[in-house]
Structure 1
Amino acid sequence: MPKVVLLFTGKRKSGKDYVVSKLKEMLKPEDCSIIRLSAPLKKQYSIEHNLDYDRLLDSSPYKEAHRLQMIQWGERKRESDPGYFCRLATEEEDKPVWLVSDCRRLSDVEYFKSHCSTGPAHPSCVLVRVSASDEVRRSRGWGWVGGVDDGPSECALDEVSCDYHVINNGIDEQLDMKLKELKNFIEYNNNG
């Protein structure tokens, strides 16, 4: 069981993976794992639909061409078992710090809070919102897609209160300051 879990949420092209990677670089490698909930989803989807798994993992047009159908397939899986992808993503993890790079639904948050939180005296499981302006997201390749950008995979956590908010608009000083704050939180809770 991990000591510290950070659940990252945010819109497409807000830079969640970038922020998580930068944070991991600041931590001891033996202490920290990046958990991607989309990895087991994409793996199983690629098997069932005879698709290239590696290409579904990157930020290519190939992934975007399959995104809506993959989201719909994943929703059906979650309806029958809300913790399915969370369990698959973490079943072999044994490091004390988990950075979950892609929480998208309340069921993801509830799963980790119920399985990893040690109570209010030791808030080991926190939610981190990563955001970027639409202009910055467009510069990273984002464009509005109906059924995706207004669907649960993008909007389900919009109104959920987060413990931390990281603005990722390309201003290094602003990002570095927030990453140091997260690093301090992790080190305090991992070593305490």
Structure 2
Amino acid sequence: MIRWGEEKRRADPGFFCRTVVQGAAQPVWVVSDTRRLSDVEWFRDAYGDAVLTVRVTATEETRRRRSWVFVAGVDDAESECGLDQGVTFDWVITNDGDGAALGAQLEALLQDVRSRL
């Protein structure tokens, strides 16, 4: 499946992005799993300033507490870290287990989204 997806992306970097928005008419879309710079670039090219990028982060310590274990060849692959460089995110949300802090960050993000409608 991974090989097939990579072949599709090499032939047409926007293949999956176009597929996901086909027929969508909502005023706000949340695309929760872009993994590559080409995905972000496609959305920016297609929708311009309407695109808001949000990155959710957690420390490695928090991730380990949540049972994450680094696997070489998986966690360092483009599908997992393709957006670690080359993207300036509009928002960076920290999710280290502090519910109040997370809620405040999400509320600020929602206010930003509402202000753009």
Q: Same fold, TM exceeding 0.5?
A: yes
**What are the equivalent positions in structure 2 for 1:175-190 lying under 5 Å apart?**
175-190=102-117
Tell me the TM-score normalized by structure 2.
Answer: 0.91
1:141-156 aligned within 5 A: 141-156=67-82
Find the counterpart in structure 2 of residue 114 from structure 1. 45
Q: Which residue of 1 aligns with 2:26?
A: 95
Task: Compute the TM-score of the two structures, normalised by the length of structure 1.
Answer: 0.57
1:112/1:125 contact within 8 Å kept: yes
CA distance in structure 1 between the partners assigned to 2:73 and 2:84 by the alignment? 16
For 1:106-138, what per-residue CA distance to the aligned partner results, in whole angstroms no more than 9, with x for missing partners?
110011101112xxxxx3212111101112212
What letter corresponds to residue 36 of structure 2 in structure 1? R
Q: 1:93 to 1:180 in 2, by over 3 A?
A: same
- Which structure has more relative contact order (CA 8 Å, sep 6+)? It is 1
SS at match of 1:77: helix
Deviation at 1:76, TM superposition (A): 1.7
Q: What residue ranges of structure 1 are gaps of 5+ in the alignment?
A: 1-69, 118-122
| AA of the residue aligned to 2:25 | D
3-state SS, counterpart of residue 99 of structure 1: coil
Q: Is the 8 A contact 1:129 1:166 kept in 2?
A: yes
Which residue of 1 is the match for residue 93 of structure 2?
166
